[in-house]
């Protein structure tokens, strides 16, 4: 998936976690109060993390692929430790996990399910990685099945934003 879509999905998770209905479902049973929303900023930071780490490593030739250490699910114990430490850590871990899930979905939708081996890098490496630099990848990506999924995600976000905007305007008119 494109970098901006990872950030959009993380922001969407933040928005959803702040919805009253979702917050009630995430309520802490021991205290009986609704859980607070996850910080959108920390979710976005977590979603950005894999590419912020791996793209420069690939571009500089440190590794021969653009999905390496930051995209490795072998970091799950570290993510769990971060999530258990603080709400910010939970938001970063959720954002990071959403990035990995979207990238795995992306390669699968595009008919390269074997490329999901990036999740266990460096234990296993893809036999035929699609090692295209990020700029060239964007052109390659146009018209792929994942591209249309991304378009749908962006359209849904725009529609939700418009719906929210019009709902706020309607509430203001009613309060006058």
Q: What number of other Cβ atoms are within 10 A of residue 44's Cβ?
A: 21
Domains in the chain, number: 1
Of all residues in the chain, what percent are helix, strand and coil, respectively (each to 5)? 70, 0, 25
Q: Write out the residue range of the structural domain in which residue 135 sits.
A: 3-175
User: Which tens digit of pLDDT belongs to each residue from 27-53?
Assistant: 654 354 556 789 999 999 999 999 999
Tens of pLDDT along 72-87?
999 999 999 999 999 9
Q: Tally Cβ neighbours within 10 Å of residue 57.
A: 17
Query: Which of the pair, 26 or 93, is modelled with greater confidence?
Result: 93
What are the tens digits of pLDDT across the range 95-109? Answer: 999 999 999 999 999
pLDDT tens digits for 107-156?
Answer: 999 998 988 999 999 898 776 666 677 678 778 888 899 999 999 999 99
DSSP 117: G
Residue tagged 């970063």 (tokens) = 92
Q: Is-contact 69 57, C-beta < 8 A?
A: yes
């Amino acid at each position: 998936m494109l970098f901006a879509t990872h950030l959009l999905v993380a922001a969407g998770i933040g928005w959803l976690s702040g919805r009253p209905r979702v917050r009630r479902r995430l309520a802490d049973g021991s205290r009986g109060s609704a859980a607070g929303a996850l910080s959108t900023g920390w979710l976005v930071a977590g979603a950005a993390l894999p590419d912020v780490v791996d793209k420069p490593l690939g571009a500089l030739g440190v590794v021969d692929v653009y999905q390496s250490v930051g995209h490795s699910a072998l970091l799950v114990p570290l993510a769990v430790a971060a999530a258990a430490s603080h709400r910010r850590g939970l938001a970063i871990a959720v954002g990071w996990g959403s990035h990995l899930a979207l990238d795995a979905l992306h390669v699968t939708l595009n008919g390269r399910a074997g490329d999901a081996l990036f999740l266990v890098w460096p234990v296993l490496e893809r036999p035929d990685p699609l090692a295209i630099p990020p700029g060239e990848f964007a052109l390659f990506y146009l018209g792929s099945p994942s591209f249309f999924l991304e378009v749908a995600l962006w359209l849904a976000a725009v529609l939700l934003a418009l719906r929210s905007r019009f709902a706020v305007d309607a509430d203001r008119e009613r309060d006058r």
